[in-house]
Structure 1
Amino acid sequence: MDAWNDELRSIRERRGMSRDELAERCGLSAHSLRSYELGRRRPTRDHLLDLLRCLTADERSRSIILAGAGLAPEAPVDRFREPNVPPREAARLIRHRPLPAVLLNDRTEVLAVSGAAWRLFGMPEYEANPPKHRSALTEITFRAIAARVQNWDEVIGQILQFLKAGLPADHSIESAGTPITTIVRKLAAADPSMWERFVRVWRASPPFRGRMTGHTYPGVWSVPGGTIRFNVFVGCLNTEVGLYAHTMVPADAQSHLLLDELLAGRPSRRRARRR
């Protein structure tokens, strides 16, 4: 995705702003902005973030441009400074996210999922009629989903750390209660190898002791045509009832390209060339 500069210029033109006007607002020279838009120079991350703020670029465009320019992604804006979003509003925000995103409560129940996430999970039929209050552990232990997550142990370990943070220090996997005991019983009966893997990760995962808001963990997903690498940003939307947004931001330009193709239902360009 080398055309990050074209995307930057396109947003400016859609806003009806001249180069001189945008440069003045951001404290840059028009010459520097022209060099950025023509791809002759790459801005620093701070300069590019200033440009994106002046352009009021949306979350998806910001992520695409930063990744295309080879810069670190930005944490999603989740109103972290005032984490008291009402539950219905929090669910609406997640469902309309342009990136894969999931809303969990402090029991790791899934309260809302974006359409992009359902398509990444290979379950587009749930976008219109999603299941209610299913555990994130239930979803990720489905073999069809587990097969897509290349760092499955790391991702499920992260979820278990969040869940263990609210359990007594002397807990065991047998005494952890629903949903853990339910999942363990189903896995043991239906998929012994997955059960052994789950128990191994449970034992290796300590309770989460850090600050959850702003926490980041990696997600690596297999999709047709390649691998999408995500930085998963955790943000608290409501401290009183414990609502946490997990937003999956592609970590590089190639990951953005593959995600765009997946969401648009287009075959991978790399796969098409091989044919």
Structure 2
Amino acid sequence: MTTATVAPGVGALLREWRDRRRMSQLELALRADSSARHISFIETGRSRPSQEMVLRLADHLDVPVRERNALLMAAGYAPHYPETALDAPAMGTLRAVMERLLTGFEPYPAIVVDGTYTVVAANRAVSLLLADVADHLLQPPMNAMRLTLHPQGIAPRIRNLRQWRGHLLDQMERQLALLRSAPLRALYEEVSAYPVPDGAADETAPGGEDAPFALPMMIEHGGRVLSFISTIATFNTPMDVTVSELAIETFVPADPETAAYLQRLMS
């Protein structure tokens, strides 16, 4: 005898998102120009929300675009946001924009990743970070988390690996708190289980007057230590699931020595 698994209705999903945002029914109702009674009826399944109401509530709950489609389907509606492959002709303008951004950021490294950290684009300076990385990690599709944390990736050259590893795993945990992504969960379980490479440096970022303004990644290259601050940019108000999950990560020199070295090297 088998037991069928019943997918949660839109009411239960909305209640879960509201709980995540620590918002009362009354607060959500005021923001969405509704009533606490109506929100309660939706959450308990006594009232079926309109497509417009689902999208409005999702907007005020800051629900990710992919999950907004899931809410709509749970309510019996078709997905509102398309999911277009990045190599589709319709994405030509987007690809050109990303290419200009990445090229313009040289001589500093920059990459574009999707929602599971697959590298979809990178500039030439990224090759500086990939010295001595095992060939199997460089085969497409490359994954930024595997490249960074795998013992045969760049992990052995990261001088403050424990700090940087903790930062990356915390970042993934925050994403998993917002997304029902089985691939992202599987990736997190994989990379969090990687052992710290034998002989890996265990330095920490400097403190006091020499402290950087954000946690740097300190990485060995060519007999010296380069220091980078990572910044992440996303697209505002995306209208496509694929675009909503893209992130442009740039590595800004954290000190004048790193900036000068990269300028010389790439020139």
TM interval, shorter chain, is 0.3 to 0.5
TM-score by length of 1: 0.44
TM-score by length of 2: 0.45
